[in-house]
Amino acid sequence: MASPNLIASVKKHEGFRSKPYVDTTGNITVGWGRNLDANPLSPEEAELLFENDLLRAVDGAEKFVSNFGELDEVRQSTLIEMCFNLGLKKLTGFKKFKAAVEAKDFPEAYTQMLDSLWAKQVGYRSQVLAYQMLTGEWAP
């Protein structure tokens, strides 16, 4: 492994960027000088990012509705997937949907899911997730 001094020097000179940017030679770069054009993410690196994102979605879904723990696994998973896709900030905009889930009015939650811009944007995914919210069963 590289020495701590080398690591500190490289990080100092590269600088950290949390979002991708185009470097001085035109390459898409992120982090501490990670050239994504020459060195794209490996499946293992992408898996680590995915796991962290999924944990954030679980946390967001738990915060989104007050009765998250009372819901069955399928409905919890549906909320988590919506939070993964939308992010908690955008999911909180689904006020009628949230009220329906908290009232366990799953036909209304289904309607609110499909009557949204999100449903138009994600197409079939919204139909699958709305079915799961309505029935409490995994979509076929």
Taking only the tens place, the pLDDT of each residue in 17-54 is 999 999 999 999 999 999 999 999 999 999 999 999 99
Task: Please give the pLDDT value at position 1.
Answer: 80
- The angle formed by the CA atoms of residues 32, 51 and 106, to the nearest 5 degrees, is 135
CATH architecture of 43-135: Orthogonal Bundle (1.10)
Q: What per-residue confidence (pLDDT) applies to 60?
A: 98
Predicted confidence pLDDT, tens digits, the chain (140 residues): 899 999 999 999 999 999 999 999 999 999 999 999 999 999 999 999 999 999 999 999 999 999 999 999 999 999 999 999 999 999 999 999 999 999 999 999 999 999 999 999 999 999 999 999 999 999 98
CB count in 10 Å sphere of residue 39: 12
Provide the sign of the torsion angle of the four alpha carbons 79, 82, 84, 90, taken in this order.
negative
CB 113 within 8 A of CB 89: no
List Cβ neighbours of 126 (8 Å cut-off, separation of 6 or more). 113, 114, 116, 118, 119
Sheet order of strands, 34-35 included = 17-22, 28-31, 34-35
Q: What residue segments make up the domains of the chain, in order of their start?
A: 43-135
